Each structure stands twice: as structure tokens, then as C-alpha cells.
């Protein structure tokens, strides 16, 4: 199943893309998204462990399943502020 991933902040800058597409099994986990992003975009590898992944505006851990086709998936890098 093909999923479109929205790249936000620093991940967008590193990959040079606003979105990317990954191919995953019909039943996939958030961790599988993270692993496939690292495989397809090695430039993101240093940042991926500290990124959150949001599915339909909810942060999920790596063991959570993605849900039905068409869910919105966003890669959210850590944010610093003062």
C-alpha cells in the first residue's frame, strides 16, 4: 500500500521535499514508516530517531498501526525554542 508522508521543518529541508511516498504492507506500523523513510532518504537518518510521527493529527509510537488507506501521516522533527 502506498502512503504519502508530509515532511515538516528540518526534515523538509534535509530531504528537499515537502512530501514523499513510501510503499508498505497493507497492515503497517509507524515503525515501518520510520524504517522505510530511513531506507529511501538516508539524509534523514540522523534526525529520524528524535522525530515524532503523527497519523491523522495524533502522535503515535512505533508499534501503532497506521489504520486505513488515506490517513494523513506527518514526520515532525524536534522543535527548539526559547
Specify the pLDDT at position 46: 94
pLDDT at residue 82 is higher than 60: no
Its pTM stands at 0.90
Summarised one tens digit per residue, pLDDT across range 14-70 is: 999 999 999 999 899 999 999 999 999 999 999 999 999 999 999 999 999 998 878
Distance (Å, rounded) from C-alpha 77 to C-alpha 47?
7
The helix or strand, by DSSP H or E, that contains position 30, with its residue range, turns out to be helix 30-40
Domains, the chain:
2-76 (3.10.20.30)
pLDDT at residue 7 is higher than 60: yes
Amino acid at each position: 500500500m502506498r502512503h504519502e508522508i508530509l515532511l515538516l521543518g528540518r526534515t523538509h529541508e534535509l530531504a528537499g521535499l515537502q512530501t514523499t511516498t513510501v510503499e508498505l504492507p497493507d497492515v503497517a506500523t509507524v515503525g515501518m514508516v520510520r524504517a522505510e523513510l530511513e531506507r529511501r532518504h538516508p539524509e534523514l537518518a540522523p534526525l529520524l530517531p528524535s522525530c515524532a510521527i503523527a497519523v491523522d493529527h495524533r502522535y503515535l509510537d512505533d508499534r501503532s498501526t497506521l489504520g486505513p488507506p488515506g490517513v494523513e501521516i506527518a514526520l515532525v522533527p524536534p522543535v527548539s525554542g526559547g
